[in-house]
Amino acid sequence: MTLLEAKEHIGGRILSVDSTAGADSIELGAEFLHGKLPLTTALLSQAKISLVESGGEMFHENNQRRVEWDQLTKQWGELMRDMGRIKNDIPFRVFLDQYVAGGNHSSLYRSARGFAEGFDLADIRKTSTMAIRDEWQHEEDQQFRVKGGYGRLIHYLDKSSSRKYFTLVTDAPVKSVAWRKGEVKVFTSKDQAFFGNKLIVAIPPKPYSKILFKPAISVYRNAALSLGFGHALKIMLEFQRPFWQKTHPHAGFVFGNGDIPVWWTQLPSKTPLLTGWLGGPRSQKIKNRSIDGVTAVAIRSIAQIFNIRENSLRASLREIYFHDWSLDEFSMGSYSYPIVNVQSALKVLTEPVEKTIFFCGEHIYAGHWPGTVEAALNSGKAVAEKIKLRSV
């Protein structure tokens, strides 16, 4: 078997890099496990890689006054009950407009919309209320990081295969596929050609538009392109010292009102690293996507939250880490979110083309943990088992 990787490194939207100031790992892509997810934790255990529970409390900075984040707990419970009562799926915005008193002027409306957009990266005009409800119901309170970074898991999976099962070719972006039942010919932009009797397509939804299939597989291509695929802006700033510990010594997450509204620390580690996050459609409104442009927005947002001068922050800044997955030509976004009637697209993509072309990825997953590494691993495992059964 031959594995073609478009980039020079493997791992897809997992991208762990070394820190210059002692952080356990810099995660430019996937970072958290939202609970002890079965397949991911089993593989980590097999690899003897430990998990670190993320620590700290959640705070919102409101006129420089610290406010506990769980103010909306009672209302949130009522929201979940209302979501459970709907019988036919509707876009989440329609649900909010119909069921949340006070409409988009209420704090609950803004909170629910912000969570759907910021956490799920969803466009609430398209995302499924039923799917969002099911995901939120299974959301775990415990959050974990991989000790040493997610990249260690990718390295283990690569090493444990001993390459006896496949040949890995990196820097090999695929431009076209010629196929017929039981036969495929894959051509890369480097003028390489590869041949086989089956093909697994493991790419995010939007890059389907960049690969030419001959003959065309339009139904599958359109199903992939119809899926919700969100955008996020994530930037990590390493400072000379963790200045926030003076005013927020127990802060795990801090929420503000700036252009980048969500920040988290590395607690329980006191590493002087702050991670900024802007998810959903709002992330596309930041026009200057250069590292300098995003850093300027980040510094301004931090200064506003912690009431610190921007010049002071810049003087104490040691390193900046940034990768824009939306501008990454092989990703074109961050991770998927469920749309209304997503099952019809998933039904198409979970069936192979003439028992020859198979599809997998976190977007082709219908379980409780969409948009995660767990989803990607489960999808890949399902396809491997399907091919194995068909080969018996």
Cβ atoms of 185 and 178 within 8 Å: the answer is yes
Q: What is residue 71's predicted lDDT score, i.e. its pLDDT?
A: 53
For residue range 323-337, what is the model confidence (pLDDT) as tens digits? 999 999 999 999 999
Residue 238 has pLDDT above 60, yes or no: yes
For residue range 249-291, what is the model confidence (pLDDT) as tens digits? 899 999 998 999 999 999 999 899 999 999 999 998 888 889 9
For residue range 15-27, what is the model confidence (pLDDT) as tens digits? 999 887 667 789 9
Is residue 107 very low, low, confident or very high in pLDDT (cuts 50, 70, 90)? confident
Residue 390 has pLDDT above 70, yes or no: no
Whole-number Å distance between alpha carbons of 229 and 371: 9
DSSP 99-168: HSTTGGGSHHHHHHHHHHHHTS---TTTBBHHHHHHHHHT--S--EEETT-THHHHHHHHHHTTTTS-EE
Q: What domains lie within the chain, and their CATH numbers?
A: 70-137 (no CATH), 232-322 (3.90.660.10)
Cβ atoms of 34 and 25 within 8 Å: the answer is no
DSSP 279-327: ESGGGGG----SHHHHHHHHHHHHHHHHT--HHHHHHHEEEEEE--TTT
Whole-number Å distance between alpha carbons of 311 and 285: 25
Is residue 66 very low, low, confident or very high in pLDDT (cuts 50, 70, 90)? very low
Structure tokens at 1: 């078997």
Name the percent of the chain lying above pLDDT 90: 78
pLDDT, average across residues 57-81? 68
Residue 67 has pLDDT above 50, yes or no: no
Roughly what angle, to the nearest 10 degrees, separates helices 38-46 and 151-160? Answer: 60
Q: What is residue 68's predicted lDDT score, i.e. its pLDDT?
A: 44
Q: What is residue 64's predicted lDDT score, i.e. its pLDDT?
A: 44
pLDDT, average across residues 346-358? 97
Whole-number Å distance between alpha carbons of 27 and 211: 29
Whole-number Å distance between alpha carbons of 69 and 277: 17
DSSP H or E segment with residue 67: strand 65-68
What one-letter code names the amino acid at 356?
T
Q: Name every residue whose Cβ is closer than 8 Å to that of residue 53 and which is 6 or more positions away in sequence.
A: 142, 143, 144, 268
Pairing state between β 251-255 and 16-17: unpaired
pLDDT, average across residues 42-69? 79
Whole-number Å distance between alpha carbons of 320 and 235: 7
Q: What is residue 162's predicted lDDT score, i.e. its pLDDT?
A: 65
Q: How far is CA 291 from CA 44, 138, 189, 284, 298, in A?
A: 33, 36, 28, 15, 10
pLDDT, average across residues 236-243? 94
Q: What is residue 288's predicted lDDT score, i.e. its pLDDT?
A: 83
Q: Return the CA Rg of the chain.
A: 22
Q: pTM for this one?
A: 0.92
- The phi-psi region of residue 162 (left if phi > 0; otherwise alpha if psi is between -120 and 50; otherwise beta) is left
Q: What is residue 88's predicted lDDT score, i.e. its pLDDT?
A: 93
- HSE-up (13 A, CA, CB side) for residue 83: 21
